[in-house]
Structure 1
Amino acid sequence: MRTGYPPKLHFLRSLAGFSRISEKPDCACVSRRGNGIMASWNRYWSGMRKLKMYIFVLLVCLASVLQAAVKVSPLIEKVSDHKDLKKLLRTRSNVLVLYTKSATSGDSKFKLLSDVAQVVKGQGTIAWVNCGDSEGRKLCKKVKVDPSSRSGGAELLHYKDGTFHTEYNRPATYKSMVAFLKDPTGAPLWEENPEAKDIVHVETEKDFRKLLKREERPILMMLYAPWCGVCKRMQPVFLQAATETKGKFVLAGMNVHPAEFDGLKQEYNVKGYPTFCYFEKGKFRHHYENYGGTAKDITDWMKNPQPPQPKVPEVQWSETDSPVFHLTDDSFDGFLAEHPSVLIMFYAPWCGHCKKMKPEYEEAAEYLKDTNSPGVLAAVDTTIHKAVGDRFKISGFPTVKYFEKGEDKFTLPHLRSKDKIIEYLQNPQAPPPPEQSWEDKPSGVSHLGMEDFREVLKKKKHALVMFYAPWCPHCKNAVPHFTTAADIFKEDRKIAYVAVDCTKGQNQELCKQESVEGYPTFNYYNYGKFSEKYNGDRGASSLFLSLGGRIYRFHAQPAGAGPGQEERGALRQGVERGRSLSLHCDRGRGLLALTSRDVVMT
């Protein structure tokens, strides 16, 4: 029996939704059943029209889904032309650009970036470049960006003041991205450290009040600033203490540096960073002061929290029984008129190097007093007697000057020890002409100060910073080796060897922030974030850089002559081959060995 439809179209009957069709009749029966067959064919064609409509609707829906897949917030600017990108960077000072290898490669980021763009509107701009279409491909080639080489086929680059600033390598989270775009040169958030999960991270004053209200356990709150060097060094210690006391106490952290927290800082008497506040049942009890540098110090204190003991005021040097004459703004000129040969130490009470020099200076003064020497030693606290300090342009401590018959004759930075001081006053002479400063010598070292330190380091994936004082013997010995390493890597824009003279004006504050307590101090930074400090023997410098999973080390005795041109070439060649090389120098013998070994990828 043959039915009224071709066999291949049976499936259309159910799709079209019409009932069973009677079998096709013999020719003799056509006239008798014609009306029924015509009605069946009419239903068939009606079903086909419905099927076409269903297919059309399906295609429209599919197109809508595909369009939705690449639909982004209007706050994210779509850029396809290189001129448009240049215009955007010229007119906007804070731009984060998402480069994708195709229209759908950035799907996982569009929702997040749209939310971020909403919050930073007016402060920062987010743009998108599709390197997969014809125009976008030209743009990406022009700016030398290849997102196809990245995981997920997407790359985020930040531009500041019209030029490339840095690759965004912080967590792809709403909070981190908002913080970054609000302060692109600021330090990463503490909570971005995956190991900091046992710390309660407080973001707003509202969260702060809520924590105090709901938490029954004692709370130790660390109020900090992201740039604070002491805070950075205390964070891992604080974290360890939080892990060890988990369940018993709450250790929390809050960045209170922004101006919006000025009221909170005033309420809890925050005069410096970090400030630790102790709370019990939501009530502030007292500060945790004079804290030690270990997690045990914190955990022991939390078991028996006591208010800080009253500080015993430090006796001023001028009030002690000392053979050194202490001068003031009023007595300065009269004293010089009475004493034709005077060596004066200009100092600050807080200055560590002044404290170190003080006993040497006093012993020298005692010796000169007993020998009836015509030369005498005097001192001026320029934090109190500022007129004298300003008059002689004192910008660093200690500063030692020699006065003859009331006249400022010489500045003597090399006088630090008892013997040198006595020897000089017994035969005062002009000091040898100053050598050309390290900063004035051309090299691959970047000499930075308070005004540009953080800005420059934020752009460098690897930075090794040497904090130094020009008069420091160990610093002088380290300079040639540090300079050699800098020269080797000076063409690499991701690497920086940086030097900071801690005796200069505002640099003193910078060195305090970075917890520099002696010279030289070597700190390693990754995109401006302090990573680790070299605390080895000052008789040797161990300068290292971690680059793309490779470790390059330079070991040098301070008095060594450093590597020659041939060795530099070998080192550079080894670096290009992805090898780890050790350069060994010994006192007075120059280069001893240049070795290389396979690099362990990390």
Structure 2
Amino acid sequence: MRCVGLPSSSGSEAALGSISVGADSSGAQPEAGTHSRRLLDPQVVLPSWLSSAKVSSLIERISDPKDLKKLLRTRNNVLVLYSKSEAAAENHLRLLSTVAQAVKGQGTICWVDCGDAESRKLCKKMKVDLSPKDKKVELFHYQDGAFHTEYNRAVTFKSIVAFLKDPKGPPLWEEDPGAKDVVHIDIEKDFRRLLKKEERPLLVMFYAPWCSVCKRMMPHFQKAATQLRGHAVLAGMNVHSSEFENIKEEYSVRGYPTICYFEKGRFLFQYDNYGSTAEDIVEWLKSPQPPQPQVPETPWADEGGSVYHLTDEDFDQFLKEHSSVLVMFHAPWCGHCKKMKPEFEKAAEALHGEADSSGVLAAVDATINKALAERFHISEFPTLKYFKHGEKHEVPVLRTKKKFLEWMQNPEAPPPPEPTWEEQQTSVLHLVGDNFRETLKKKKHTLVMFYAPWCPHCKKVIPHFTAAAAVFKDDRKRQDLTILPKLVSDSWAQAICPPRPPRVLGL
């Protein structure tokens, strides 16, 4: 096996370091007769094609499974090229040599020649099958010491570099065969060059690879690019990286996607129909027009109706004058508030028409009346608060006219919350920061689940995790299951859930 080692400035990648010909990683000459992974000895005669190819000088040969195991243990991002023969690897090695320089410090690229008698055992152990006549190479990726995936994306410099920098990230847009008519821009220099030379109308989508709206729009954008081929140019540029701050500032990229229209290098205006189809884009480019100014929404307080709209100044006086008040704290931009608003208004109208009304409904715009929002600790929208003779009471989840009216006719304290997992009697051992390490030291095998109480994936796992703990509660050899509820910050918890499931680690 030959390996392109990419030393890192820190972590396990740096542990192996760069190796120079005839010396170990410390620079000392190896003793005679010792066996180690090393660069090709200067006396070894290389195949003619390999001598002339621009293969990275860091290429090394390892044919022993133990050496590969050590490599995977010490480097956490490894791409291995398995080839049927030396000649079969020629083109891939040339390409991977340039990739190695681009991802230096972030990954490692290795080569195993399965045609070599010494390496056949290794290929068999790694379950590499190159027996089909048309299969000459395989690319396998290993992460954190284990097999991750077979590389099946485009075998190009850009695609492999992007993969090694983010092995679990989405493929590049240009890897989609349907996007061949979209001009894919990688660097600012290419963007400026395109603006300077392009005479045809130019529509550029500035996007981020993780953006769901971008992903939904891309198929329509690329279809329009094909239909307009020769008449207009549609281009895409991933500007999520901080290196494109100048472009984002220049073209007011505040969110993704941002689509800008140019004529002869001059920016005219943005295209803001983010739900458009290919036909919409094609039709718009026949006669491009700037976005129409949006008509500002009428504030809810100005719409009239039976809901009382309260402010910082009149809130307390209103509560003195009304003995039973249900207050909705809202924000104009909040989608859930807008959805609940019609039901709230209908309930207010029904109460207003009662001869002996059970109360009134009121609303507070928390974005304007910040003193009230702070006073009642409003952190999400909509939030309901009920006041009886000026005294605040908690309110259960209410979202419909029927529920609002039922509550106002018989306001009751919401049922007590269900006991937390820690408060329940189970065989799960709950850990906190103070006893986490000390407890694990005493146990030979422990399964730890890091979770957040609000996480939906965690809630689904908890019953099964608890049941498993009950099975092993008396088995000292296997050890009970352990849970860690609040050892990490909320920001960390939100980073892993959703959409990922709770993290369960075997220790």
TM over 0.5: yes
The residue type paired with residue 411 of structure 2 is: P
**Could you tell me which of 175, 178, 181 is aligned with 1:195?**
178
The residue type paired with residue 417 of structure 1 is: T
Report the more deviating stretch, 155-164 or 174-183: 155-164
The residue type paired with residue 380 of structure 1 is: V
Report the more deviating stretch, 403-412 or 364-373: 403-412
**Match of residue 137 from structure 2:** 154
**Could you tell me which of 362, 374, 381 is aligned with 1:397?**
381
Report the more deviating stretch, 227-236 or 94-103: 94-103
Question: Does the aligned pair in 2 maintain the 1:402–1:412 contact within 8 Å?
Answer: no
Asked if 1:252 corresponds to 2:231, the answer is no
Decide whether aligned partners of structure 1 residues 71 and 274 sit closer, same or farther in structure 2, where only a CA change above 3 A counts. closer
Matches of residues 138-153 of structure 1 in structure 2 within 5 Å?
Answer: 138-140=121-123, 144-148=126-130, 152-153=135-136
**Match of residue 188 from structure 2:** 205
**Match of residue 225 from structure 1:** 208
The residue type paired with residue 394 of structure 2 is: F
Offset, 1:279: 0.7
Offset, 1:229: 0.6
**Match of residue 373 from structure 1:** 357
**Could you tell me which of 281, 296, 302 is aligned with 2:279?**
296
- % identical equivalent positions: 60
> Once the two structures are superposed, what CA deviation does each residue of 1:457-500 show, in whole Å capped at 9, x if it has no partner?
xxxxxxxxxxxx999xxxxxxx99xx9xxxxxxxxxxxxxxxxx
Question: Does the aligned pair in 1 maintain the 2:387–2:393 contact within 8 Å?
Answer: yes
**Could you tell me which of 186, 190, 193 is aligned with 2:169?**
186
**Match of residue 234 from structure 1:** 217
Report the more deviating stretch, 216-225 or 238-247: 238-247
Distance 1:77 1:319 in 2: 75
The residue type paired with residue 377 of structure 1 is: L
The residue type paired with residue 381 of structure 1 is: D
Distance 2:64 2:331 in 1: 59
> Once the two structures are superposed, what CA deviation does each residue of 1:189-219 show, in whole Å capped at 9, x if it has no partner?
1111011111111111111111111111111
Offset, 1:391: 5.8
**Could you tell me which of 101, 111, 116 is aligned with 1:118?**
101
The residue type paired with residue 400 of structure 1 is: L
Asked if 1:279 corresponds to 2:262, the answer is yes
**Match of residue 412 from structure 1:** 396
Offset, 1:322: 3.6
Point out the structure with the larger helix share: 1
Question: Does the aligned pair in 2 maintain the 1:202–1:208 contact within 8 Å?
Answer: yes
Question: Does the aligned pair in 2 maintain the 1:291–1:298 contact within 8 Å?
Answer: no
**Could you tell me which of 210, 234, 246 is aligned with 1:263?**
246
Report the more deviating stretch, 313-322 or 247-256: 313-322
Question: Does the aligned pair in 1 maintain the 2:213–2:256 contact within 8 Å?
Answer: yes
Asked if 1:356 corresponds to 2:342, the answer is no
The residue type paired with residue 272 of structure 1 is: G
In structure 1, list runs of 5 or more residues that go unmatched. 1-59, 438-468, 472-478, 484-504, 515-522, 526-602
Matches of residues 483-562 of structure 1 in structure 2 within 5 Å?
Answer: none
Asked if 1:308 corresponds to 2:291, the answer is yes
Report the more deviating stretch, 399-408 or 247-256: 399-408
> Once the two structures are superposed, what CA deviation does each residue of 1:513-555 show, in whole Å capped at 9, x if it has no partner?
x9xxxxxxxx9x9xxxxxxxxxxxxxxxxxxxxxxxxxxxxxx
2:106 counterpart SS class: coil
Distance 2:168 2:252 in 1: 28
1:251 counterpart SS class: strand
The residue type paired with residue 360 of structure 1 is: E
1:148 counterpart SS class: coil
Question: Does the aligned pair in 2 maintain the 1:97–1:129 contact within 8 Å?
Answer: yes
The residue type paired with residue 107 of structure 2 is: G
2:135 counterpart SS class: helix
Matches of residues 9-88 of structure 1 in structure 2 within 5 Å?
Answer: 64-65=47-48, 68=51, 72-76=55-59, 78-88=61-71
Asked if 1:320 corresponds to 2:327, the answer is no
Distance 2:58 2:98 in 1: 9
Decide whether aligned partners of structure 1 residues 123 and 390 sit closer, same or farther in structure 2, where only a CA change above 3 A counts. farther
Asked if 1:98 corresponds to 2:89, the answer is no
The residue type paired with residue 128 of structure 2 is: D
Decide whether aligned partners of structure 1 residues 373 and 215 sit closer, same or farther in structure 2, where only a CA change above 3 A counts. same
2:394 counterpart SS class: strand
> Once the two structures are superposed, what CA deviation does each residue of 1:530-588 show, in whole Å capped at 9, x if it has no partner?
xxxxxxxxxxxxxxxxxxxxxxxxxxxxxxxxxxxxxxxxxxxxxxxxxxxxxxxxxxx
In structure 2, list runs of 5 or more residues that go unmatched. 1-42, 421-453, 464-489, 501-507
Distance 2:455 2:345 in 1: 24
Q: Greater CA radius of gyration, 1 or 2?
A: 1
Distance 1:331 1:149 in 2: 82
Decide whether aligned partners of structure 1 residues 304 and 164 sit closer, same or farther in structure 2, where only a CA change above 3 A counts. same
Question: Does the aligned pair in 2 maintain the 1:347–1:379 contact within 8 Å?
Answer: yes
Decide whether aligned partners of structure 1 residues 397 and 164 sit closer, same or farther in structure 2, where only a CA change above 3 A counts. farther
Question: Does the aligned pair in 1 maintain the 2:347–2:401 contact within 8 Å?
Answer: yes
Decide whether aligned partners of structure 1 residues 112 and 70 sit closer, same or farther in structure 2, where only a CA change above 3 A counts. closer
The residue type paired with residue 428 of structure 1 is: P
Decide whether aligned partners of structure 1 residues 182 and 375 sit closer, same or farther in structure 2, where only a CA change above 3 A counts. same
**Match of residue 532 from structure 1:** none
Question: Does the aligned pair in 2 maintain the 1:345–1:399 contact within 8 Å?
Answer: yes
Offset, 1:408: 4.4
Distance 1:132 1:329 in 2: 80
Decide whether aligned partners of structure 1 residues 269 and 62 sit closer, same or farther in structure 2, where only a CA change above 3 A counts. closer
Distance 2:45 2:109 in 1: 29
**Could you tell me which of 405, 408, 430 is aligned with 2:413?**
430
Decide whether aligned partners of structure 1 residues 421 and 119 sit closer, same or farther in structure 2, where only a CA change above 3 A counts. same
Distance 1:418 1:470 in 2: 29
Distance 1:237 1:91 in 2: 44
Question: Does the aligned pair in 1 maintain the 2:64–2:122 contact within 8 Å?
Answer: yes
**Could you tell me which of 164, 171, 179 is aligned with 2:154?**
171
1:177 counterpart SS class: helix
Question: Does the aligned pair in 1 maintain the 2:206–2:238 contact within 8 Å?
Answer: yes
Decide whether aligned partners of structure 1 residues 429 and 268 sit closer, same or farther in structure 2, where only a CA change above 3 A counts. same
Distance 2:44 2:70 in 1: 37
1:195 counterpart SS class: helix
Question: Does the aligned pair in 2 maintain the 1:354–1:397 contact within 8 Å?
Answer: yes
**Could you tell me which of 108, 114, 121 is aligned with 2:91?**
108
Question: Does the aligned pair in 1 maintain the 2:217–2:274 contact within 8 Å?
Answer: no
CA RMSD in angstroms comes to 4.1
Query: Higher relative contact order by CA 8 Å / sep ≥ 6: 1 or 2?
Result: 2
Question: Does the aligned pair in 2 maintain the 1:339–1:405 contact within 8 Å?
Answer: yes
Offset, 1:167: 2.9
Offset, 1:347: 2.8
